[in-house]
Structure 1
Amino acid sequence: MNLGEQLKNLREQYNMSREELAQQMNVSRQAVYKWETNKGYPDIDNLIRLSELYKVTLDELIKGDSSFQKKIAIDEKKKIGNDLSDPGFYLGIILVFVGLFLDLGSLSAGVTILGLLTMCFYDDFKQIFWNIKRDFKQEK
């Protein structure tokens, strides 16, 4: 049984409407609907609250849903991937060294700061770039 079916069955066992559950969980009724139809998944905080509400373990909630387990595994790999093999780290280091060791006059401090920001926010910069590129293509 997948997570959505299990959440719906548990809610019905407790004789609750989606609206009542949504109020108790402090989410929208649409969020509960998405969870129960597998169009979305509750975050970890809501999973914990659901397990407490229905008096079941987290393991019991998610064990039967292999697609949800795969989603968790993929999300974990994304988190693990942020290490020294990140191209933003290397690009940032290069910019820092250029700013520190090459005589660029008043630009040196700016290049160094840009390098530090690139090291920290490379993924965000990349996402902004792709969003701008996508928006530009849609306007044409």
Structure 2
Amino acid sequence: MNELRLGKQLKKLREEQKMSEEEVATQVGVPVQNIHKWENNQGYPDIQHLLKLGDIYKTTIDEFIKKDAALQNRINIQEEEREDNDKLLHPGFYIGIGLMFFGNFLSFIIGNLMIMMVTNIAGMLIICFYKEILKLLKGVKKDFYEQK
């Protein structure tokens, strides 16, 4: 499938309308640098700017999104992050608390305070950085499968 990146598509549409980057920037209400970045796939316009660009180029946001897989992935990732942020207590909280309690219990049974200290630190790190740890592990998994 021949996928056209949003930047190439924006540049093509602007040239078809015989407009300069400055003219488009003025109509959209952004600095010229934004138009340049968008057309060179160095960034994406937000939804309001996509709407204005759609009006200027007489096309729809749907057409912009359908032709750019990277933009589709970015939208999906942002939706997943929004869903994650809606959860008050994520699984990492429970894992971290469980590890801390287990370490405290084990420390009192064995009589070694080092176990309690290590498990408390590990538990706090899991609580604080659970989402980042998951992202890291997903990236490692993705890299592993891409190498096969």
Question: What TM-score does the superposition give when structure 2 sets the normalisation length?
Answer: 0.57
Alignment-derived partner of residue 34 in structure 2? 31
Please report how far the alpha carbon of residue 58 of structure 1 lies from its aligned counterpart in structure 2 after TM superposition.
1.0
Structure 2, unaligned runs of 5 or more: 94-128, 130-148
Please report how far the alpha carbon of residue 85 of structure 1 lies from its aligned counterpart in structure 2 after TM superposition.
4.5
Q: What amino acid does structure 1 have at the position aligned with 2:87?
A: L
Q: What amino acid does structure 1 have at the position aligned with 2:46?
A: D
Structure 1, unaligned runs of 5 or more: 91-125, 127-140
Please report how far the alpha carbon of residue 84 of structure 1 lies from its aligned counterpart in structure 2 after TM superposition.
3.4
Alignment-derived partner of residue 116 in structure 2? none
How far apart, CA to CA, are the structure 2 residues paired with 1:46 and 1:66? Answer: 19
Do residues 63 (structure 1) and 75 (structure 2) align? no
Counterpart of 1:81 in 2: which secondary structure?
A: helix
Alignment-derived partner of residue 18 in structure 2? 15
For 1:53-86, what per-residue CA distance to the aligned partner results, in whole angstroms no more than 9, with x for missing partners? 1111111112111011100100111111123353
Alignment-derived partner of residue 125 in structure 2? none
Match of 1:54 among 47, 53, 57: 57
Alignment-derived partner of residue 48 in structure 2? 45
Q: How many residues align?
A: 93
How far apart, CA to CA, are the structure 2 residues paired with 1:83 and 1:5? Answer: 35
Q: What amino acid does structure 1 have at the position aligned with 2:7?
A: G
Alignment-derived partner of residue 100 in structure 1? none
Counterpart of 1:38 in 2: which secondary structure?
A: coil
Alignment-derived partner of residue 6 in structure 1? 9
Higher-Rg structure is: 2
Alignment identity in percent?
Answer: 46
